[in-house]
Amino acid sequence: MSIDKPLHQLGLAEAARLIASGALTSEALVTACLGRIEAREAVLQAWSSIDPEHALAQARACDAGPPRGLLHGVPIGVKDVLDTFDMPTEMGSSIYKGLRPAWDASCVAMARAAGAVILGKTVTCEFAGMAPGATTNPHDASRTPGGSSSGSGAAVADFMVPLAFGTQTGGSVLRPASFCGVIGFKPTFGTYNRAGVKFAAESLDTIGLIARELDDLALMNAVLTNSAAIAPAFPQTRLRIGVCQTYLWHKAEPASRAALERSVSAARDAGAHVEEFVLPPPFSQLTETREILNNVERARSLAHEWTHHRSQISPALTRSVELGLATSDDQYRAALRLAEWCRLELDTMFNSVDVLLAPSANGEAPEGIAYAGDPSFQGLWTLLHVPTISLPAGKGPHGMPVGVQMIAPRYGDRKLLDAAHWLIARAGVHGQME
């Protein structure tokens, strides 16, 4: 098998095939990724922890041993809220500087068992929350890469690593993907085991993936769900798409509106059945509802840190904890009930369509890195526990990437990946860095 691109630009699935065929070694691939990191990390600052010698030692062990699984010898990045037994897990907080767990998070352990090389830990906002680190957008270092999976989005977009783990409580996988011009996948809530992740809000937290290719998401999904490694395929019947502007449409910038309109037009021209999809009035409360759940559950998750290390918690997260502590249990349970009612209502509404198209984010990545962007366009779907994916859908007026979001019903993850494959092939929405 020939290799017609720089090694650091290989996708996860392509690299795995090349290594399995003997056309590529893990050491050569990891060396190329480390070279890209050395060249770009001073600007990007995507990694919270990286040890080149340790990464190369893992790669050499893969090359010297028998194939271990679907990811044999391929490097991945791990968001620094996921535990790793051989690297620090600092969660973007000075409270845990130098922390060394004795275990891997479940998703990391499963990837490692399948042969993956853990290249390093990627920068996260503090406790996967609101206070960003120093990571910049690979398309424009004066802009945010999004958060809280900041390092994962930037590192994948900049070809430092083919795939990285993220987590999403509001919009922490899809927003970085949209801002950085790559693909972000948040599966149905609970699909990937969360053992070994520091909870932000336990009724919302979902482990997700950021990659440049859909095949790569499908491959890692197979590893984490113990299922067959089936690449995304075209839907077998005419795709039924609901266009859902959501109750947040007034917040969508022209670039985001145009991206959605382009994708809808291309889908219609390619033969999809397209119709308007309007969420019932109670859904308009979901942004506030998610904030209630987020604040209460963050306050409970951070009880130890709040008691013993309050001075080391950022002002933004302090405000969230204070709001959570001031929320009554009745308010919290009312929010839980509304969220569940909306989930059940949406299950029924999906009888008329296969997938939805909606904005991924407000628009292009905002200027500056102190603010990681508005999570509302992603957060409502996170609360609804449905699988979602952000696909690159062109650029805005400042030349920055803009995405479009596709949503499927709960447990329709396979359908979502297939529909995304169809949209990319038919609409040509897939753009990457050069």
Q: Is 376 a catalytic residue?
A: no
- 93, 148, 256, 263: which one is catalytic? 148
Pairing of strands 75-79, 355-359: unpaired
Six-digit token string for 254: 């022209």
- 48, 106, 172, 301: which one is catalytic? 172
Amino acid present at 215? D
- 48, 79, 93, 360: which one is catalytic? 79
Q: Is 26 a catalytic residue?
A: no
Pairing of strands 206-211, 273-276: unpaired
- 222-229: Cβ within 8 A, 24+ apart: 222/70, 223/69, 223/70, 223/71, 223/110, 223/111, 223/114, 224/107, 224/110, 224/111, 224/191, 224/192, 224/193, 225/191, 225/192, 229/70
Name the helix (H) or strand (E) containing 301: helix 286-301
Six-digit token string for 315: 């002002």
Q: Is 79 a catalytic residue?
A: yes
* Per-residue buried b or exposed e for 237-266, using 16+ beta carbons within 10 Å of the residue's own CB: eebbbbbbbbbbeebbbebbebbbebbbeb
Six-digit token string for 57: 């030692």
Reduced to 3 states, what is the DSSP secondary structure of residue 226? coil
Q: Specify whether the CB–CB gap between 204 and 216 falls below 8 A.
A: no
- Give the Cβ contact number of residue 166 at 10 Å: 34
How far does the chain reach from its first CA to its final CA, in angstroms? 23
Q: Specify whether the CB–CB gap between 260 and 359 falls below 8 A.
A: yes
Amino acid present at 295? N
Pairing of strands 117-122, 401-407: unpaired
Residues catalogued as catalytic: 79, 148, 172
